[in-house]
């Protein structure tokens, strides 16, 4: 029998490990788990509610989709000339940008993962940011509307500066010698998938940098990192010692399981074989859901990458565009975890079986796997 996310959060708390690394497919509940963990460690009460925004009261610092909600766009719909990324008032960015003056560090980190000419321009009170291209000559392109991936990278850059400063402060053993008491109550850092839209090289670099930050922590601070990326998981697995590793799964009845694993993604849960098994089981039980299209697409992407195809769609049956459109339709996902999703029709469920059978029957990679199995 599965568990609730609150029970999973309790399992993580009871483990009392310095680092806990969790792999899960998209849609398995990683972001909701970060919120459930925060609510478990530091639940809101009426008495505390008025002071909840104070940084010094925080016991959990977390980066997730909820963190990104602190940032929102003013698109200047009337003039269509000056789109700005607004920052909701909060203790985190106020401390990093205003009190610690880390805007240059944020800019440097952001440009490293995106483009060294793409420049964030903070307002005087750090309540909003505009973006421009600074080409180093007379060409200046102001008021750029950056992509969603670049926006995620910018927000991660702010968080990176915060966690860097926080670890540095907490590494000072004598509380009286610290320059701030803002982090004295902090117990956990929860990082949920900071790898949106990063290419492979930058993804590896971000994982190495995050692991270095974690290893630099000499205090009692504990870290939980979740990801859907096997590569990100594997880099962290190899960089970090003494960690506990898990796989988070969503069960058909809506409950969850958190299973401890040994080894990297290929050794501990054979990523590609797990995908295949999960889809096959759903087909047999006639329980194909929207997220099984995501698993199928991941399986095609992994096979294409292994066989050297530049696009996973090249592995599809002859009427490639028809099947591509069907898969894309069901693998686009909203940031709203509770958004209603249409149930796949029987014909759409049959598409999953057809495409899985096609992959297994037509490519030697999978024929060899079946012989070995």
pLDDT of residue 213: 94
Residue 69 confidence (pLDDT): 85
Q: Is pLDDT of 37 > 90?
A: yes
Residues 236 and 312 in one domain: no
49 band by pLDDT with thresholds 50, 70 and 90? very low
The CATH number of the domain holding residue 161 is: 3.40.50.300
Instruction: Give the pLDDT mean for 355-368.
Output: 74
Look at the alpha carbons of 228, 197, 143, 91 in this order and tell me if their dihedral is positive or negative: positive
Q: Which of 266, 301, 329 is the last residue of a domain?
A: 266
Q: How far is residue 220's CA from residue 175's CA, in Å, rounded to a whole number?
A: 13
- Co-location of 285 and 197 in the same domain: no
The answer to whether residue 308 scores a pLDDT higher than 80 is no
Query: Do 358 and 239 fall within a single domain?
Result: no
Pair (314, 232) in one structural domain = no
Cβ neighbours for 217, distance < 8 A, ≥ 6 positions apart: 167, 170, 171, 223
In terms of domains, do 360 and 253 share one? no
Residues 63, 204, single domain; the answer is yes
Judged by average pLDDT, the poorest of 80-84, 238-242, 363-367 is: 363-367
Same domain, 334 and 237: no
Residue 270 pLDDT: 64
What pLDDT, on a 0 to 100 scale, did the predictor assign at position 78? 63
Residue 302 has pLDDT above 60, yes or no: yes
Comparing 131 with 341, the larger pLDDT belongs to 131
Residue 15 and residue 88 share a domain: yes
pLDDT tens-place string over residues 193-219: 887 667 777 888 899 999 999 999 999
Q: What is the pLDDT of residue 340?
A: 45
- Domain extent, residue 111, equals 5-266
Q: Domain check: are 185 and 313 in the same one?
A: no
Total domain count for the chain?
Answer: 2
Task: Look at residues 219, 248, 266 and tell me which one is the last residue of a structural domain.
Answer: 266
**What is the pLDDT at residue 271?**
65
Q: Tell me, what's the pLDDT at 369?
A: 54
């Amino acid at each position: 029998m599965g568990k609730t996310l609150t029970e999973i959060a309790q399992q993580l708390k009871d483990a009392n490990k310095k680092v806990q690394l969790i792999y899960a497919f998209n849609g398995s509940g990683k972001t909701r788990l970060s919120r459930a963990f925060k609510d478990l460690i530091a639940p809101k009460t009426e008495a505390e509610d008025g002071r909840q925004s104070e940084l010094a009261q925080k016991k959990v610092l977390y980066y997730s989709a909820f963190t990104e909600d602190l940032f929102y766009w003013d698109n200047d719909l009337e003039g269509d000339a000056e789109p700005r990324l607004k920052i909701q008032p909060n203790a985190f960015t106020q401390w990093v940008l205003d009190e610690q003056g880390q805007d240059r560090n944020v800019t440097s980190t952001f440009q490293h993962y995106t483009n060294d000419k793409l420049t964030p321009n903070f307002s005087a009170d750090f309540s909003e940011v505009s973006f421009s291209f600074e080409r180093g000559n007379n060409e200046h392109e102001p008021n750029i509307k950056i992509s969603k991936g670049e926006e995620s990278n910018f927000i991660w850059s702010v968080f990176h500066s915060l966690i860097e400063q926080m670890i540095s402060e907490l590494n000072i053993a004598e509380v009286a010698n610290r320059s701030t008491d803002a982090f004295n109550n902090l117990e956990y850092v929860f990082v949920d998938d900071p790898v949106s839209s990063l290419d492979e090289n930058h993804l590896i670099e971000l994982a190495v940098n995050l692991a270095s930050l974690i290893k630099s922590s000499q205090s009692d601070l504990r870290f939980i990192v979740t990801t859907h990326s096997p590569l990100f998981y594997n880099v962290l697995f190899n960089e970090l010692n003494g960690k506990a590793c898990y796989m988070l799964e969503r069960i058909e009845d809506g409950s969850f399981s958190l299973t401890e694993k040994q080894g990297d993604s290929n050794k501990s849960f054979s990523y590609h074989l797990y995908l295949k098994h999960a889809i096959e089981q759903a087909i047999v039980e006639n329980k194909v859901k929207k997220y099984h299209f995501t698993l199928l697409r991941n399986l095609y992407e992994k096979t294409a990458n292994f066989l050297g195809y530049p696009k996973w769609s090249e592995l599809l049956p002859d009427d490639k565009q028809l099947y591509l459109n069907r898969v894309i339709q069901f693998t686009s996902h909203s940031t709203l975890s509770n958004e209603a999703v249409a149930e796949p029709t029987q014909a759409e469920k049959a598409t999953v079986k057809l495409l899985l059978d096609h992959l297994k029957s037509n490519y030697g990679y999978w024929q060899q796997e079946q012989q070995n199995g």
